[in-house]
Amino acid sequence: MTSTIDTVALTTGKPRGATPRKRPPVTVGGLATNAFLWLYAAFAISPLILMVLNSLRTTQDMAQRPLGLPLPPNFESYAKAWVTASFETYFLNSIVVTVCSVLLSTGVSLMAAYAFARTTSKTLKTLEGVFLSGLMLPVYLAILPLFYMLDAVRMTSNLLSLILIYGALGIPFSTFVLASFFRQLPIELDEAARLDGAGPFQTFWRIHLPLVRPAIATVVVFRFVPVWNDFFYPLILIRDQTKYTLPVGITRFFGEYQTDWATLFAGLTLATIPLVVLFLVATKQIVSGLTAGMSK
């Protein structure tokens, strides 16, 4: 006959005789810290909530009730911002430039970081120093030679020029982060793969790449945000309004709709949605990447 202890072990999934884990004691300092963090989070997110709520109201309603709720919600401002104010064009341009440049910099950095982390060649070690030296150079100082070079080959007002510039600017940081993660992987993985007949590329693609997914997510997010929000390079290099990205397009958008508050809030909400979605999707990987190596 099964004893009571065995029955409890079977139903709870805990081994017989296992002692329950004790929760850490609640302290006044811990409660105060949690309360402060929740208060700070509420304070930080409140402008985003107000922006979304006001985008669902009319300008007349906001003038009459500044802190009112969108009852009923009005989505006409989103249609006006997307179609009439050319927000669709700005949004798609930003998506193309940001996604392509992040893929370019991440792809190059992955292969370079793997080579730097696994090499013993002094030449490649020197080349790694050249890669990382890009972290010490102020990127905006290169705008004049870049402009003259792109103008000479007639690549101004071209999204490809932005993709190449952002991709090149992201390589030093991405290589530095990814090489640090590759160096944490044991060399025995390479030796075991070599014994199984795998070449360097197969070892990189099938073994190491899945293990550094948190680092890849961290690099993607840290490159996506500044490229998406960058105002400087599109302002200098893009002259055609149909090639404007969101930051430059929003300045023109504000000039035309400065009295139409509902449309302005709708446009800002549309510009913020990709960043919010990216953080929500990649939060777990980002935390894993930032805390890797902190605990055993």
Q: What is the per-residue pLDDT across 250-291, written as a single tens digit (0 to 9) for each?
A: 888 877 777 788 888 888 898 888 888 888 887 776 666 555
- Segment 162-185 shows an average pLDDT of 90
Q: What is the pLDDT of residues 4-53, one digit of tens each?
A: 434 434 444 444 554 556 666 767 777 888 888 889 988 888 888 888 89
Q: Where are the chain's structural domains?
A: 36-74, 80-291
8 Å CB contact between 157 and 151: no
Between CA 234 and CA 167, with CA 156 as vertex, the angle to 5 degrees is 60
How far apart are alpha carbons 214 and 283 in whole angstroms?
Answer: 10
Q: Report helix angle 159-184 to 87-118, nearest 10.
A: 40
Residue with the two structure tokens 């996506």 = 224
Which two tokens mark 200?
């360097």
Fold of 80-291: MetI-like fold (1.10.3720)
Q: What is the pLDDT of residue 197?
A: 83
Q: Which residue has the tokens 């999204």?
A: 159
| Token output for 136 | 């010490």
Taking the chain, what is the end-to-end CA distance rounded to the nearest angstrom? 42
Q: What was the pLDDT predicted at 2?
A: 45
- pTM for the structure as a whole: 0.80
Q: Biggest alpha carbon distance in the chain?
A: 89
- Please state, in angstroms and rounded to a whole number, the distance separating the CA atoms of residues 77 and 262: 6
Average pLDDT over residues 141-147: 86
Cβ contact 74:57 at 8 Å: yes
Radius of gyration of the chain (CA): 26
* 256/259 Cα distance (integer angstroms): 8
3-state SS class at 219: helix
